[in-house]
Amino acid sequence: MAALDLHIDDIGKRFGAIDVLRGICLRVAAGEFVTLLGPSGCGKSTLLRIIAGLERADQGHVRAGGRGLDAVAPKDRDLAFVFQSYALYPHLSVHDNIAAPLVMRELSSLERLPVIGALLPGAIQRKRSIQERVRQTSGLLKLDALLERRPSALSGGQRQRVALGRAMVRKPKIFLMDEPLANLDAALRIHTRGEIARLHKEMETTTIFVTHDQAEAAALSDRVAVIFGGELRQVAAPADLYREPVDLDVARFLAQPFLNELAVAAPIGGGLMIGGSRIIIRDALGSGLAGTLAFRPEHATLAEKDHPGALPVRVTRIEHAGIDAHVFVDAEAGAQFVARISAERARSLRDGDNLGLTIDAEKAWFFPSNGSRQRGDHSGAA
């Protein structure tokens, strides 16, 4: 089915004295699944509400399929919204909840009346078509057995499916989802996540999904847009985002769950001094600025204490996490690091062991204190 592309152009929004959103520009291709990721209060939900027309932007424009949406009422934007709280109509049955958008759009106010409506020509046929589509949707979401129930008699996961059904039933061109999984328990969240991915694959509707959970974003999205403090920091495919974060906030936010950080002075002679060892981080070359060295736990390895170039460290704690283990170590300089190694190897380690920590310089980052990292050209080897 047809999907629309979405252009978000220089959107700004203030609540009182606070800039909630500043100069947000984002292009979403037709059929693409884009996640807005950021900590709570970063403005991602406000952006979604602006796209939906539920909130008015102070500046900037939203266009869908080339059509400007700024002056279009929410119901005429041809998009559907799934709310975190599900937002079902409490007094209507599951069937009527799903049917509501069709009934409100396709029947006149006279045809909606209980007795008179049934007598009007054409209304019966339209009502039958609505029922047909409600049935299809409920079948797709396995809600058939629940159609007569009220939302209050449903579990959280069932309510979520009804909310999805209500959004899907009129086949919108764009889906907006505001943390739809946040109120579900962990197992159900992962299950529903799969359902959403499956539905997106089937329907190929352009989808904007808001979450603060980076695992959710990575699992679902074609691209992730990371928002901090009302600013769009980076838009990239999940794997690129993890590998090449543009700044320290993004790197931290995508930590799984740990990130090693070390404040360092301006690099001298093309290398950073960490304790007694010097490591070369390509990012840092030529910047001449102080900043932060950061690397993911899997980009550090533990070697013998006297391994050449290794930083002498002492094991303080080991956390097993399935196939891997996180080893927490103290360096002599007082810094703390985490290395991710195989659980197999971690079995031979004990608290208090003295080891050497080596950092994969190819994969570590240097974030200058004045903001974003320069994207290094990684084609040439050091």
Partner 1 sequence: MILGQSSSSRIVSHAVLVTGAIIMVFPFLWMILASLTPQSEIFDGSLLPTPTLHGAIDNYGTALSAIPLLRFMANGFVVCLAILVLQIAIAIPCGYALAKLSFPGRPILLVGVLLGLLVPVQIPTIPIYIALAKSGLLDSYAALVLPWIISVFAIFLFRQFFVTFPDEVLDAARLDGFSELSIAWRIMLPAAWPAVVSFSIFSIVAHWNDLYWPMVVITNPDMMTASLGIAYFRQAGEGAGNVGALMAGGVLVTAPLVSFFLLMQKHFIRGLVLGRH
Q: Which residues bind partner 1 (CB under 8 A)?
A: 49, 52, 54, 74-75, 77, 79-81, 83-85, 87-91, 100-101, 104-105, 109, 166
Measured from the CB atom, is 99 or 224 closer to partner 1? Answer: 99
Collapsed DSSP state (helix, strand, coil) of residue 217: helix
Q: How far apart are CA 222 and CA 155, in angstroms?
A: 30
Nearer to partner 1, 30 or 72 (CB): 72
In this complex, which beta carbon is closest to partner 1, that of residue 49 or of residue 340?
Answer: 49
Q: Least separation, in Å, of the C-beta of 49 and partner 1? A: 8
C-alpha–C-alpha distance, residues 225 and 234, integer Å: 6
Neighbouring C-beta atoms of residue 73, cutoff 10 Å: 8
Cβ proximity to partner 1: between 75 and 191 the closer is 75
Rounded CA gap, 62 and 39, in Å?
23
- Give 88 or 210: the residue with its C-beta nearer to partner 1: 88
Structural Rg of the chain based on CA atoms: 26
Residue 37: beta bridge partners?
Answer: 211, 226
Q: Tell the smallest beta-carbon distance from residue 103 to partner 1 (Å).
A: 9
For partner 1, the closer of residues 54 and 124 by Cβ is 54
Q: How far is the CB of 108 from partner 1 (least distance, A)?
A: 12
Give residue for tokens 């600013």. Answer: 231
| Cross-strand bridge partners of residue 174 | 79, 206
Sequence letter at residue 355: L
How far apart, in whole angstroms, are the C-alpha atoms of residue 222 and residue 236? 8
Quote the longest CA-to-CA distance of the chain: 90
| In the complex, least distance from residue 76 CB atom to partner 1, rounded to whole angstroms | 9
For tokens 């939906």, what's the residue?
52
Taking the complex as a whole, the smallest distance from the CB of residue 73 to partner 1 amounts, in Å, to 8
Min separation Cβ 104 and partner 1, Å: 4
